[in-house]
């Protein structure tokens, strides 16, 4: 048995307990200080108590930013009554250090219950493993370019060791994507990947970004069906520009095969964007509803928001607020200003999804790399097409984005967890027949092999557990 102490959040960002116990077989044995009754019953049904209700019951006063010093005022007697501290024979009854909500704290509760995290005393937060639904590679390898199994495994492992326990491998616009699809499908079948995202080739040549212009083309249903059949149900999303010929036919075929259109790399007007969203809503089945579409890395590779021509950005944001579309946000501080990420995420709520758009340089030193056969230079934390100012994918991992955005304090950790776990799972339909795929934990279930990440007080990854195994 091993106990992991800290403030435990589920994949929806809901506070559920103060620690997790994993047995020797890697299965979840207990949720310490669970906010719902019993470890079977409600827990196994996925019915979770809301943190706000807990706060009311025990008198916790929660600020907008629960990470700030003195954000929660805790009454000592009430805490012990509600089992937020583990009570056993080894627990001191005086004012000596205790293992509390946020791990051991040499200050006890006298200073508001938070104190300062001390590395030697254990974790601060426990959150489910991150889910990245838009990732081109990492660890020096590129999913569109390096098709050997060792290279693919290296890219997966690079992200996994930083807390991304479920990953959708992204391709780029390619003349012939079939070899890459065939190379990735076995990793999906084995549970090492959660699926495949095809970024193009049916996109706008005017908003190609780092896509190979020679591979970009109009929609072709015959070749698309060939790709979908080869994908064996593992192609989860495909980036399509809504204004291209046959965009609607492409979207309809994707839906028919259980995939979703992801609108992006587009020169669309506001009207074209709105009409595409509405068309998908009309054609989508219950299998992909209620969120049958996404927007690929919002703001990037699309016309900027303008006061006279708002373009697609406003349509995607408003549709996200209505719950009709999920919007990808590359929250790395390079692709989008962090304050804009905060504004959009706050406005659209659960429809915001953090993605990396990572390429081979993620987790690697700066230098020269490739993406889809194009040369990329990584300098000053940004990847750009060689000899240009065009951004070519990302260099971050989701762990970096969590640390950046949570550290700023404008978004709660609860919201950020939702954007990195439940949000992407819903956006890419990674739950099939109600079951969580390998590497994904939204609700903690006793007897299941969990996926979670231990974060310290600065939101940096300290430990990663995937399918009950400590990495």
Same domain, 123 and 142: no
Residue 262 lies in a domain: yes
User: What CATH number has the domain bearing residue 269?
Assistant: 3.20.20.140
Give the separation between CA 314 and CA 333, rounded to whole angstroms.
Answer: 21
Residues β-bridged to residue 30: 21
Same domain, 383 and 455: no
Residue 117 lies in a domain: yes
Same domain, 144 and 288: yes
Give the separation between CA 202 and CA 218, rounded to whole angstroms.
Answer: 5
Give the separation between CA 50 and CA 32, rounded to whole angstroms.
Answer: 16
Peptide bond into 302 cis (omega under 30): no
pLDDT at 324: 96
Same domain, 6 and 150: no
pLDDT at 50: 34
Residue 37 lies in a domain: yes
> For residue 42, what are the domain limits?
2-127+441-470
Same domain, 233 and 256: yes
Residue 435 lies in a domain: no
Give the separation between CA 438 and CA 396, rounded to whole angstroms.
Answer: 23
Same domain, 81 and 139: no
Residue 87 lies in a domain: yes
Residue 434 lies in a domain: no
Full DSSP string of 290-353: T---EETTTTTTSPPP-SS--HHHHHHHHHHHTTS-EEEE--SSSSS-HHHHHHHHHHHGGGEE
Same domain, 195 and 168: yes
What is the C-alpha R_g of the chain? 22
Same domain, 112 and 151: no
- Tens-of-pLDDT digits for all 471 residues of the chain? 999 999 999 999 999 999 999 999 999 999 998 865 333 333 333 333 333 333 333 333 333 333 333 222 323 333 233 333 223 333 333 333 333 222 333 222 222 233 343 343 455 899 999 999 999 999 999 999 999 999 999 999 999 999 999 999 999 999 999 999 999 999 999 999 999 999 999 999 999 999 999 999 999 999 999 999 999 999 999 999 999 999 999 999 999 999 999 999 999 999 999 999 999 999 987 656 678 999 999 999 999 999 999 999 999 999 999 999 999 999 999 999 999 999 999 999 999 999 999 999 999 999 999 999 999 999 988 999 999 999 999 999 999 999 999 999 999 999 999 999 999 999 999 987 667 789 999 999 999 999 999 999 999 999 999 999 999
CA distances from 63 to 14, 66, 74, 104, 322 (A): 15, 6, 13, 22, 27
Residue 353 lies in a domain: yes
Here the tokens at position 120 are: 């030697």
Same domain, 120 and 145: no
Give the separation between CA 366 and CA 344, rounded to whole angstroms.
Answer: 30
pLDDT at 432: 73
Same domain, 17 and 149: no
Indicate the number of domains in the chain: 2
Residue 118: alpha-carbon gap to chain centroid: 28
Same domain, 119 and 192: no
Same domain, 102 and 205: no
137 and 126 in contact (C-beta within 8 Å)?
Answer: no
Residue 432 lies in a domain: no
């Amino acid at each position: 048995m091993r106990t992991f102490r800290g403030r435990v959040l589920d994949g929806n960002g809901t506070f559920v307990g103060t620690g997790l116990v994993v047995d020797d077989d890697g299965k979840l044995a207990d949720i310490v200080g669970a906010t719902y009754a019993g470890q079977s019953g409600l827990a196994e049904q996925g019915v979770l108590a809301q943190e706000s209700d807990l706060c009311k019951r025990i008198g916790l006063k929660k600020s907008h930013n629960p990470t700030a010093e003195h954000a929660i005022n805790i009454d000592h007697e009430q805490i012990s009554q509600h089992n937020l501290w583990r009570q056993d024979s080894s627990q001191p009854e005086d004012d000596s250090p205790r293992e509390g909500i946020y791990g051991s704290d040499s200050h006890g509760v006298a200073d508001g219950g938070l104190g300062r995290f001390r590395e030697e005393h254990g974790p601060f937060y426990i959150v489910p493993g991150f889910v990245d639904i838009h990732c081109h590679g990492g660890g020096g390898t590129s999913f569109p370019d390096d098709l050997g199994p060792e290279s693919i495994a290296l890219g997966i492992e690079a992200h996994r060791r930083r807390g991304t326990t479920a990953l959708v491998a992204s391709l780029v616009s390619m003349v012939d994507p079939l070899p890459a699809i065939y190379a990735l499908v076995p990793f999906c079948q084995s549970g090492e990947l959660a699926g495949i995202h095809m970024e193009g080739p049916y996109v706008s040549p005017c908003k190609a970004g780092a896509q190979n212009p020679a591979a970009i083309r109009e929609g072709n249903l015959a070749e698309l069906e060939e790709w979908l059949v080869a994908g064996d149900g593992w192609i989860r999303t495909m980036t399509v520009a809504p204004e291209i010929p046959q965009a609607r036919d492409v979207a309809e075929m994707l839906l028919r095969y259980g995939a979703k259109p992801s609108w992006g790399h587009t020169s669309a007007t506001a009207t074209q964007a709105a009409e595409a969203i509405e068309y998908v809503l009309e054609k989508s089945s219950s299998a992909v509803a209620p969120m049958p579409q996404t927007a690929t890395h919002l703001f990037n590779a699309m016309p900027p928001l303008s006061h006279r021509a708002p373009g697609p950005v406003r349509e995607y944001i408003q549709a996200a607020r209505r719950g009709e579309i999920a919007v990808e946000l590359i929250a790395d501080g390079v692709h989008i200003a962090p304050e804009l990420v905060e504004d959009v995420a706050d406005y659209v709520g659960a429809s915001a999804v953090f993605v990396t758009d990572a390429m081979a340089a993620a987790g690697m030193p700066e230098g020269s790399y490739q993406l889809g056969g194009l040369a990329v230079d990584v300098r000053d934390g940004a990847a750009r097409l060689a000899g240009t100012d065009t951004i070519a994918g990302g260099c971050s991992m989701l762990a970096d984005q969590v640390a950046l955005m949570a550290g700023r304090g404008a978004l709660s950790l609860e919201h950020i967890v939702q954007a990195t776990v439940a949000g992407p799972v819903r956006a890419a339909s990674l739950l099939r027949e109600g079951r969580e795929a390998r590497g994904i934990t939204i609700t903690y279930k006793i007897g299941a092999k969990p996926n979670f990440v231990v974060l310290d007080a600065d939101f940096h990854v300290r430990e990663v557990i995937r399918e009950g195994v400590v990495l």
